[in-house]
């Protein structure tokens, strides 16, 4: 679907997008500023030999590897429920406040530095709890591991800002979410309101053939004429009647629709990606060929006519086999003030002359008499 089609839907449904955006953004603001903030404090500790004698004794066994193993053990101790309960009891914290606290310990990679981090909703409590967890860890291991001691490196400080919620990020995400919801609802409303035969392309797709319809073709024709005139490149228009004998129109609706769709698929195989094909009515197709001269466009239509004539359509649902032979008219845009209706009218007259001349004929408007 063209960008302009999307833009038209958005402009038409602004009354859905704006309230949805405002509602979502307002809800985000409310939830963000009413959410309980979460603060975080961190204290660090260093695992060191408890004495010079201990350091000397451990040298033969590998001081660094032994200290790393002990440090890992200390980290597990610091993160245990026992330490957390001791710290909470020492501070006299109520069970309700204790539930809001979360403490974790981590041994920094490649070091013997132990980091204890606590999170909670009250700044002072978080700071004191972090330091107390460290103190209780030191007390617990003091008499159990004589070779190494745990010494404070940096005490936890009073956190000045909450780590959650991230207000700027939440507001940005809320705004984006509001736009996405609004745009989604706008397209959903357009989808629901669009007639069934136009749903697949918001009114630009022909239901019988699956290619573009006349309304969209005329819109694109005007745009391509303006672009060709501005950039000075050739532009050609062709109109083809693939049902010159009326074979398709005399068939049942089921056969007619299948035949037209098969013809459309056949024609599209031999067009460039930038070419535009539309179904006008009763087996009449139009072609917009940018950057193609009138002579080249006539050759293209002759090739398409040959393909149609040499490709019998065997319809799967009915088993009917159709042999089609049509005619086409071609006109080249002369980069003048000709309107799109006038250009289409010239192509239609060329088609009428081709139909008079015989089946499978292609007439270029400049070759017409008079």
Contact 18, 182 (CB under 8 A): yes
Q: Sheet of 276-281: strands edge to edge?
A: 212-213, 276-281, 284-290, 235-241, 327-332, 362-364
Please compute the mean of the pLDDT values over residues 92-112 and round it to a whole number.
88
Out of 3.20.20.70, 3.30.70.330, 3.30.70.270, 2.40.30.10, the CATH code matching 201-367 is 3.30.70.270
Contact 35, 170 (CB under 8 A): no
SS3 292: coil
pTM above 0.85, yes or no: no
Which is it for strands 327-332 and 362-364: parallel, antiparallel or unpaired? Answer: parallel
Give the pLDDT confidence score for residue 57 in this predicted structure.
Answer: 45
Out of 3.30.365.10, 3.30.70.141, 3.40.640.10, 3.30.70.1130, the CATH code matching 39-154 is 3.30.70.1130
Residues 226-276 pLDDT 10s? 999 999 999 999 999 987 555 566 667 777 788 888 888 888 888 998 999
Lookup: tokens for 42: 């961190």
Lookup: tokens for 62: 């590998």
Which is it for strands 113-120 and 276-281: parallel, antiparallel or unpaired? Answer: unpaired
Q: How far apart are CA 317 and CA 254, in angstroms?
A: 9
Q: How crowded is residue 199: how many other Cβ atoms within 10 Å of its Cβ?
A: 15
pLDDT band at 173 (very low <50, low <70, confident <90, very high): very high
Question: Which of these, 121, 146, 151, 119, lies nearest to 134 by C-alpha position?
Answer: 151
Whether residue 192 has pLDDT greater than 90? no
Residues 111-120 pLDDT 10s? 889 999 999 9
Give the pLDDT confidence score for residue 47 in this predicted structure.
Answer: 85
H-assigned helices in the chain: 3-12, 14-34, 52-59, 63-78, 81-91, 95-100, 123-142, 167-193, 214-231, 253-268, 294-309, 340-357
Q: How far apart are CA 346 and CA 221, in angstroms?
A: 14
The neighbouring-strand residues paired with 210 are none
């Amino acid at each position: 679907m063209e960008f302009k089609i999307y833009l038209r839907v958005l402009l038409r449904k602004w009354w859905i997008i704006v309230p949805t955006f405002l509602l979502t953004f307002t809800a985000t603001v409310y939830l963000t500023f009413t959410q309980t903030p979460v603060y975080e404090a961190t204290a660090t500790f260093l695992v060191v030999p408890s004495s010079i004698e201990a350091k000397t004794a451990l040298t033969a066994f590998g001081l660094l590897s032994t200290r790393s193993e002990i440090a890992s053990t200390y980290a597990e101790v610091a993160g245990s429920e026992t330490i957390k309960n001791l710290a909470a009891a020492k501070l006299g914290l109520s069970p309700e406040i204790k539930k809001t606290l979360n403490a974790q310990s981590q041994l920094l990679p490649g070091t013997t530095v132990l980091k204890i981090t606590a999170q909670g909703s009250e700044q002072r409590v978080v700071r004191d709890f972090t330091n107390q967890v460290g103190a209780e860890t030191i007390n617990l291991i003091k008499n159990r591991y004589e070779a190494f001691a745990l010494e404070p490196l940096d005490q936890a400080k009073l956190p000045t800002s909450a780590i959650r919620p991230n207000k700027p990020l939440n507001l940005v995400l809320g705004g984006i979410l509001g736009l996405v919801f609004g745009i989604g609802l706008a397209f959903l409303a357009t989808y629901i309101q669009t007639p069934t035969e136009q749903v697949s392309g918001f009114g630009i797709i022909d239901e019988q053939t699956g290619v573009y319809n006349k309304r969209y073709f005329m819109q694109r024709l005007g745009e391509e004429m303006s672009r060709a005139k501005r950039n000075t490149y050739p532009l050609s228009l062709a109109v083809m009647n693939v049902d010159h004998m009326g074979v398709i129109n005399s068939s049942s609706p089921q056969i007619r629709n299948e035949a037209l769709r098969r013809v459309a698929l056949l024609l599209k195989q031999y067009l460039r990606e930038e070419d535009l094909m539309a179904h006008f009515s009763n087996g009449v197709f139009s072609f917009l060929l940018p950057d193609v001269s009138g002579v080249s466009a006539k050759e293209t239509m002759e090739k398409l006519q040959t393909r149609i004539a040499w490709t019998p359509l065997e319809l799967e649902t009915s088993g009917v086999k159709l042999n089609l032979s049509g005619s086409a008219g071609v006109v080249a845009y002369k980069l003048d003030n000709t309107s799109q209706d006038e250009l289409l009218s010239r192509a239609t007259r060329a088609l009428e002359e081709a139909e008079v001349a015989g089946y499978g004929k292609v007439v270029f408007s400049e070759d017409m008499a008079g």
